Every structure is written in C-alpha cells, then in structure tokens.
C-alpha cells in the first residue's frame, strides 16, 4: 500500500492512522510470518471504534504452503 502512495505522503499517513492495514510496511515474507501474525492477532490492541481491518497477501502464502505439501493432489 505504501508504494501506491509514494507521491502522496499525506494520504498514506491518513490511511495508516485510520485504517488498520496488516502487514503495515511490506507483504508477509512467508507462510510462517503470516501464521505468527494470525497466532498473535487475538492479543492485538485496537481502538474500540475500529470498523475496518485489511489483511493483505493471505491467499498467496496459503497456496504456496499447500503446493509444497506432497500430500495435496
């Protein structure tokens, strides 16, 4: 998301302060990093008035993990 707003730092600051986007700075590097995030999601402290949370790049890593499992056909 940051790369979409490189030329509009005011817009990215507004979005990051008002919409919770995870991961904030770069996509998850691997399935383990993504899994760790979800394991810790229940302990994440968010303001009580949060209406929207965006979690990016989920399906890519799930597909990759599934493709590396030889039991899946």
Number of H helices, E strands in the chain: 3, 2
- Taking only the tens place, the pLDDT of each residue in 35-51 is 888 888 888 887 788 77
User: What is the rounded CA–CA span in Å between residue 34 and residue 55?
Assistant: 10
Ranges in the chain, pLDDT < 50: 73
pTM of the model: 0.48
User: What is the rounded CA–CA span in Å between residue 68 and residue 32?
Assistant: 13
């Amino acid at each position: 998301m940051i790369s979409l707003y490189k030329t509009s730092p005011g817009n990215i600051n507004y979005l990051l302060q008002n919409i919770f986007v995870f991961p904030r700075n770069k996509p998850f590097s691997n399935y383990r990093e993504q899994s760790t995030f979800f394991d810790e999601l229940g302990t994440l402290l968010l303001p009580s008035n949060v209406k929207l949370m965006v979690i990016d790049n989920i399906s890519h890593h799930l597909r990759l993990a599934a493709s590396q499992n030889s039991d899946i056909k």
